[in-house]
Every structure is written in C-alpha cells, then in structure tokens.
Structure 1
C-alpha cells in the first residue's frame, strides 16, 4: 500500500464541504498536536467543484502554453468561491514550469447550484496575453451529460464533436471586435492631440465627408475584411463585403481595460475589452472572443521566410529550441527528425511533413521561441 502524506491538489473540495482547514491541521499535527476533529465528528454539507485554470490550447491537444498575463481579473472571493493562485497581473507563465494559473473552487447547496456557480465564476475569470482553457471549461461544465453527472475518464473523447465544435463567429461579433479596435485607436489619437495647436484637427474631421477605415481581422484561423464608417457614436460596419450594419458604440475607460457598449438593431451588448499590440479580447456571458489585427505584408515580410510553404516546421507551443539537426540546403524526406523543442520539461521531436529542401533555420539552438514561430523553412522539391 502506498502512503502519501502530502495534501492533494483537490484538498479545497474537502475543505469546502466540511468547513475544515486541512493545511492548519497538517501544521498542528507536525507540531505534535492532535487532530482537531475525529472522523465521526466530520459532517459533509453541500457540493463543491474545482476547476484548474491552465495556460494551454484545448483544441490543439491541450498543449501547454506560456506568456505574459497582460490582463487578469478574477472572481470575487467569498464563502462560496475560492481562488487559489500564485500569480498576479503582469506576471508571466514560464515555459519551464507547470502552466497552471489558478484553482477556482466553488460551493453550492447541491450539485446543480454548485455547477451553475462554477459556470458564472468561470465567465468572471478573464485573462489576456496568453491562451487559456477557460472557454473550454465553460463548455465542459455546460455540457448536458456533464450536468447530468454522466461523467467518466473517456468523457472528452466521447464528446469531442460537441466540446470542440467548428465555431462560427457572427458578423455582429466581428463588427464589435472591429469597433473595439477603432474606438481604442481613436482614443489614443485624440489623447495625443495638442489642443493649443490650431493645426491639430479633431480626429476624422472632414466637412461633408464620412471617413472609412479598412483593415483585416483574424478571428480563429479565418481572416475577415472589415470596413468601418464613423460619425460620432454612429458607425456603419461591413464584414467581407456583406450588408452594412448600423451600430451605436461607446467606449468607457476603466483601469487597464475599457467597457464597450454596442447597439445593433436595438440589441444592446456590453463587453469588458482589452487591447494589447493588435490583439483584441472581448469578454461577455459567453466567455472570451478574441481577434488579431492583420498587419500588411510589407510590415511583416521577412525575406528569409518568403516562399516558406505549408511544409515548414512551426513551433506548436512556446519553448526552447534544444537541438536542430539540419542546415540550409539540406534535402530531407517526410518524417525526418528536424529539431527538438523543450517545453514544460518535455521533449518534442519535430519532423518534416513533406519532402523538401531546407531554406532557412531562423533560430539558433538554445533560443526561446513563441508558439507559431517558423523553426525550419522549406522549399518543396
């Protein structure tokens, strides 16, 4: 029989339903004191859930992630909600350690009420700067079979199609993402205006002219062409050449985020919004919706990477490029090991997806690389 004398990671569940403090008990026992209660005195009340908040990509095989916590807003702790964490806003989840950010623990009088509180508090857990599993946890806790307690170790595999559906983002939500970006840009420009300079014109002011902005947003894996016309709080937004949407939108700053309110055909929506370096994050009752502003190719083009095709090796997660087995000019066959990436103390051997010739190796051995970085660029044979 194995004897494990440490507290388990799920010990807050026991504490929530028994009203005990197991850490305090452990310290007392280590000091030679007796246990505060006997087994017969312990009473269980209600139901509790614990959700682990991780920096990971659930849709990508739950590969671990890393990066900065540019924005972090947690649920308010109470007698029914606990947040156990060791990070704060501005910290960074490292590639060298377990990517767990926090444990969210909730209590209810019964399982349904505890589960509903878990979903509500997951929606209140907002992080920007790196990918997390929060949206997945919301979908998991909202799943009909999970709510019916029909849960087993093969649950995720069995319900893969419903837990990881092909989600389409509506044109209305894309318009809201676009307006968050435009309003933030307008506010930044207006802030820089010199009110004492007569040549500093009010933003977008033109007599008898409605300015139009055009840019691309990447939502998920799809890029969308967006056009925005503005006049005060009234906007017209068109996505991918479709119908124009009439939208009223306002922005209210609040600490390091802002509140976005939109009115589309009488439907009013409010979002917590965070924008960092072209990344847009909208938080509402459905969780997080994010997008990236696509930079023009002349801004992002890297001559060494031009011509790199789908066979190029991309970092599947942040990590350290430990070994590179090829150099520019080498011919390789599909399946040939090319490099070793170390992340979260695990080695990942990256192999060629096709026959080809190595065109470039942009990163040296020992380099820290971000998810999506091109590690080996190829030319096909």
Structure 2
C-alpha cells in the first residue's frame, strides 16, 4: 500500500479521499488554486501546495504542475477524484511516465471511451446492446440531416467527446435539426475543444441505470450492482438511489453481466461506471463508461458496506480485487441528493458567496454527509457550486425516503440561495415516492416542484404564526440579555412587550418572503400573544416555548411543534413537511428594490465569462433575441434582449470576465 498520495482535485471528493487515507494510515498531499487557499481540503490534508490562479485552466487542469508537486513531496500515487483531469488519458500517461501510480484506469481504456462514437462502436462489436444511430466521422451537415431523417424522430444529438450534460439536444422533427445541430456543435466546441457529434434514437421516458464496476490488474472485472439516476434536470442528476425500484432481479442480472462484458472489452482496471438507458419495456442500451469514480458512489458504499476509495487504492497498488462477484451483497436502500448554491426559482441559476449559516443534520448510522465546505467558507464562481452531498440509508425504500425528508428538514443554508426546498418537494412528489420518475419528468413538470409564485398566507398560517412567535421570543431574549449586562438589570424596560401606559402595547414585525412584504402586529409577551395580519385574521398564541430550535405552542387552541431557527436577520420555520423562510426587514422603512434591466439594458445575472457576443451596435433585435452568452459554474447562460429595438452599446467582448448585474449591452431609447 502507498505511504503518501497526492489528490489532484478539490472540494468534497478531495476531503472524501483524505478521510479514507487517514483510516489506512496514508499521508495525503493537497494542491490548491488561489481561490482555495483556505479551503477544507487544504486544511485537512497533511501537506498542501499552491499550483496557480483561480480558473481551472490556471490550476487544477495543469497536469505538469500537479506532477511536479508530487515529485517534490515524494507522493507515490495521484488520485484524480472526478472532473478536471480524472478522465484525461494524457495526464494518466504523464503520471505513469513520472514513475507515479495513477489511481484510476489505464490511459488506453480512457482513450477507448473518450469518444462516445468510438465507444458505441466498440460496445456493439463486443455484444453490448446499443441504441440505433450514426457515429461516423463524416460531419457534413447535409449528411447528418439525411442520417437523422433515416434514424427517425425523436432523436438525440450528442457531443462525441465530453459529458456532464454538455452538448446534447433532443430533436423532435426534421425541420428543427439544423438549428439544434449548430447549437450543439458550438457548445461542444466551447466545452471540449471538439465539435464532432453522434446521432441516436431518443428513447421516450427512459430510466437511467448505471452499474458500478471494478477491475484489477489480473484481468478480473466484477460489478457492485446498480444505481438509478432517473431524476434529472437538463441531463444533470438530481437524486440517485440503490437499488433501483424499477429493475427486476432478472433485469438486474442481465445489466450486471453486460456491464462486466463492457469492462472486459476495454481491459478495465480500477473503478468505473457503465451507464445504460432503459426503456419502459425493460430494453436497455449502452450509453457510456465513466472512467473514474462517480459523484454518487456513496450510494453504492452504503448498500454494500464497502469503501470504494479504499478499493481504488488497493487495486492501484497492485492488489487483486478484495472480493469476488459472488461475495458482493446488497442490504437496505440508500438515496443521495446534492445540496447546491443555486436558485431553482430563477432557472437554477448558480450562486456564490459566503456561507453565513450552514446547518446540516448530524451524521449517524442512517445519515452521511460528504462536503468540502463549512460555515463561513465561500462558494466561489470558479467551480461547481455544490455545497454537500446528503446520503441516507435504511432497511427499505420507504424508510430511506423518510430519512431523506427528515434530514432535509434539519438542513438550512444562508448566504447564497440553495435548492433545499426544491429537494424537499422532490422527496415528497408521487413520481419519486412511487418510483415512476423518468429522465425527462422534471423538465416536463418542473412547475410541480416549485413553490407558489405568491405567498399562500392561508395555507402557511401556522408556519407564519410560528415565525412571528420565534422572532418575538428572540427579541425578548435579546432585550433581557442587554438588560442583564447593563447598570440596571431590574429595569421594567427589560421586558420587550411593547407596554404603554393604560394599555398593552403593540409590537410590529415586518418580513420579506421572496419579494413579498409581510407586516404583522402583536400584543403580549413571554409566549402568550395576539397576532394580527396572518391570513387577514387574528391569531391567539398561548404557551409558546423555544428550546434550542424546537418551538412548542398552541395556535387558536391547537398544539403544534415546529422547528424554528433565527439569527435576527432571518427566521426559518419547518413543520416536518413544509419550510417557511423569512427575511426580517425594518418595520418603518420599505426596502426599495432596484429595477433589474430597465428594459433598455442586458445585464449579467451573475459573475461569469463572456463566451460569445451575437450582436453589435446598430443591430436591430427582437424581444427575446439572444444578444450574448456567458459561462459561469460549468453552465452557459443565454442573455436576451428585453424588448425589440436597436443595440446602442456592447460593453463586453468574448473572453471578458464580468461581475453580477454588470450592464453588458444597451438599447437605444424607445
């Protein structure tokens, strides 16, 4: 076994590898960019070295700099994690040439899978089922149009090099093909440097099932069963689980055998994932092999009881696979979701900024957290905005879903917006609960997972009352603490009850829920209140007590128990099913919100890099016409004209970095 390894990655995967190495007594070396100098993987590793600027191309994609660090510090192996250089065959070759072990598959295996077209042809020759399509090198648009028409619609255009949902388009009729082809090729060229595409029949309402495989240097290849990843949005996985609620034992055995067959076809060594698309009739087709450890590998670990990173290290050190196929057992059910800094209500726009509060459930036998950040850290614009992976397990699927819902209820993120509320709705949706969701369901029915555009005061009356009471109790607690620290701790003014001579005074409260202002008034103190303004009615609250984050109270005679968390700037209340998050605002000053894009400008919605400018001063544009494309956090954002008019100015060029809300283009006055 190795004595010291270098981790050529960042974030939660780097911390994950460090954790396993620590249990095995292996010293770890981290590398970091300028943006990650204070990151958790840097703090947790035994040694850490800077390798360049904040952009990936200046640091984590610099294979030469990483190998030089490994040489200098005496690392015997390099673990690439996932993303960045993990599937770069040239990097794997360079690591081996430097006399350092690469903890992953051989470069030759990567190259065979580096092209989706070549991989498909190889798998077809090996007898692995593939989807009908075109994988030829001739990329003449007219030929591609003819091939598409011959394959039939619906059809998918896919970048031949790359992954992660980039360079993929669904075409439903012949007349839409040319425009989608151009868009797909441009995205592939920007993301992967090559614009070759392949065409394949699109399977309607498919399931996405992937099989975890492992191979060793003795030629053994086994599988560790499946993970289902059918809950997806724009080809990005949202929820992963094992075992699949869709597979029968017979189909599971067939897919496992096909995955092993695929591994043998490319002489696979170390961890890999064979991805299949599965039709409603149970027919399954090869998609690709991810020649690395997957983000969702903890799901497999929890149902098999294995440490896949440890297996990676042992195989890379020359040891045989620790277990044979017949020794692999699967117990219980596991589910993973990813907590992101993003705004689902704004098209899942990635977020960035300081994590002012990061509250996650306590890890135990049923809950696991893989994270690369802690409270106070910053989610930077330069990398993926994932905050943590939340993985739960239990004896069966209903219990695992219950664990997931409880764990999400215990989670709260303040600073950048997050997808927690979206995930809570997902975990309760019938398509997930009943195990019927397909890969396109979220895109077809996204509104079912979004909160109402306006606050539903009647439906959320108890939550709103709880939030008000939590804030009132917090005000009283702060007043008592201030009085206790003053020169007159017994002053009657130490009671925050709004008392006035001759009558019980009123206290006013103001909150923002999204962009809606809510104003309440209350009389009373010490847990007994009369609150006006909730669902246009008066609510009587008695016996309210806040112990930690547990709020117990009687609302109009009904006893309720809620979770309540506040810090003076905001309050979050949860009843076990629903979440209400309110921002506290000044009572006597209405917050003015600046108009976003007055109708005369195109603004950057977040920090990013301009990819392409599609208009020039003097150009006439229609409302909704694409003016510019920016890239941020692995995502392209199309910026469109707010109205019809003539371009007056273009204030950014391709390659420029821009800040959030920057004006990138203006229109002449209407």
TM over 0.5: yes
2:572–2:580 contact (8 Å) kept in structure 1: yes
**Deviation string for 1:141-183 (max 9, x for gaps)?**
2111222211211111333343225262433322332333333
1:34 aligns with 2:320: yes
Partner in structure 2 of residue 361 of structure 1:
none
Q: Which moved more, 1:23-32 or 1:274-283?
A: 274-283
Q: Which stretches in structure 1 are left out of the alignment for 5+ residues?
A: 326-330, 359-364
2:527–2:545 contact (8 Å) kept in structure 1: no
For the aligned residue pairs, the C-alpha RMSD in angstroms reads 4.0
**Deviation string for 1:284-310 (max 9, x for gaps)?**
3124311123447968569xx699857
In structure 2, distance between residues paired with 1:123 and 1:199: 40
In structure 2, distance between residues paired with 1:130 and 1:140: 21
TM-score, structure 2 length as denominator? 0.48
1:175–1:238 contact (8 Å) kept in structure 2: no
**Deviation string for 1:316-341 (max 9, x for gaps)?**
4x425879x9xxxxx99855878876
**Which of structures 1 and 2 has the bigger CA Rg?**
2
1:234–1:248 contact (8 Å) kept in structure 2: yes
CA-CA distance at 1:85 after TM superposition: 1.1
Distance 1:69 1:253, change over 3 A: farther
**Deviation string for 1:5-63 (max 9, x for gaps)?**
42111111221222211110111111111111122321222222111111112232221
Distance 1:13 1:226, change over 3 A: same
1:71–1:274 contact (8 Å) kept in structure 2: no
Q: Which moved more, 1:234-243 or 1:115-124?
A: 234-243
Note the 1:267-278 alignment, pairs <5 A. Answer: 267-276=558-567, 278=569
Partner in structure 1 of residue 643 of structure 2:
354
CA-CA distance at 1:103 after TM superposition: 1.2
Note the 1:166-245 alignment, pairs <5 A. Answer: 166=452, 168-169=456-457, 170-193=460-483, 195-197=486-488, 201-202=493-494, 203=496, 204-239=498-533, 242-245=536-539
Note the 1:33-182 alignment, pairs <5 A. Answer: 33-164=319-450, 166=452, 168-169=456-457, 170-182=460-472
In structure 2, distance between residues paired with 1:294 and 1:356: 38
Structure with bigger helix share is 2
Q: Number of paired residues? A: 367
1:247–1:263 contact (8 Å) kept in structure 2: yes
Distance 1:121 1:300, change over 3 A: closer
SS state at 2:537 partner: coil
**Deviation string for 1:238-262 (max 9, x for gaps)?**
11782221113646464xxx54433
1:321–1:341 contact (8 Å) kept in structure 2: yes
Q: Which stretches in structure 2 are left out of the alignment for 5+ residues?
A: 1-111, 114-267, 269-289, 614-619, 648-655
Distance 1:154 1:342, change over 3 A: closer
1:308–1:379 contact (8 Å) kept in structure 2: no
Partner in structure 2 of residue 283 of structure 1:
574
Q: Which has the higher contact order (CA 8 A, sep 6+)?
A: 1
Partner in structure 1 of residue 226 of structure 2:
none
In structure 2, distance between residues paired with 1:142 and 1:40: 36
2:473–2:546 contact (8 Å) kept in structure 1: no
In structure 2, distance between residues paired with 1:210 and 1:37: 74
2:342–2:419 contact (8 Å) kept in structure 1: yes
TM-score, structure 1 length as denominator? 0.79
Partner in structure 2 of residue 343 of structure 1:
632
In structure 2, distance between residues paired with 1:213 and 1:374: 40
